[in-house]
Structure 1
Amino acid sequence: MHDWEEIYQKNFKDVYYFILKLSKNETIAEDICSDTFLQAMKSIESFKGETSLRVWLCSIAKNKYFSYLRKNNPQDIDIDLNLLPTDQDLEEEVLSALGYSEIYNKILSLPKPYSEVVKLRLIDELSFKKIGNYFKKTDNWACVTFHRGKRMLKKFMEEENEKL
């Protein structure tokens, strides 16, 4: 018998941030995480223990994400499959996603509107023009706000490193 609550609590963040890194969309990451843990519960017998449980869950999540892309972007034949990690690279991708989650949390801790602008620029990869339009401001405002937010983020990270 498996303690799914413990498995979920231990691995949710890793799977979520892994998919968030791939999709760059919080809603998609949440949905795929839910589907991943449901699928894992149904197919736990197929887990052979050749990798860690975390890597197995992320492998399921990767496949769920790929299925999501195929289902929702059938006209986009040129999905770059190289963006999706192979099973042997999955452990490194999960560890990378954990670093990504720390940076993501630091971005969200910036004061508004800096956190929003930095997130829209770095995570969602929007242009300054689109960010400016989103806030009903100019693209110059978005650029200046982004650079100030980036400076705050850098200072915040430097201060944190000095504490270590």
Structure 2
Amino acid sequence: MTDFEQIYKDYFRDVFLYVRRLSGGDERLAEDITSEAFFRALRRIDSFRGDCDIRVWLCQIAKNCYYTHLKQSRRTEHTADMEQLISEAEESPEEMLLCSENAQQVKHLLHELPDPHKEVFMWRTLGELSFKEIGKLFHKTENWACVTYHRARKMIQKGMEVDNDEK
């Protein structure tokens, strides 16, 4: 048996349990990610410097594999959603342009928001963070993040109404 086979036998379960926890208990996904992580580790075993426990190194690779999977899933979902919206759209190009103008208007209003409202809104909508994650980021509670986000949203909505009334 090779050294890497022994590493696989010794640490597969630990890495699997770690990824399963990351993935919210999805065992099939955890198996796929763990296998990918060990495949990457095999290709990069020569770069392991031994500064840390090999279990930590393997879990770091697994975490990176998991985040790569999430990014790819989001892109795929986003592309599918956009394709569905485009195929279902009965709007003329002018109406679509209007939507683009609304997006520019929102972007402009967003940059005028005071902090932390601007940052919380951006982390929630663009960064796709949960309220709990945003709260941790600001050393506040999940409830604080939720309230701040909704206040920012109201400010943008009010700004949109004012701008539309002026037109």
Q: TM-score, normalised by structure 1?
A: 0.46
From the CA coordinates, give the structure whose radius of gyration is larger.
2
The one of the two structures with greater contact order (alpha-carbon pairs below 8 A, sep at least 6) is: 1
More helix, by proportion: 2
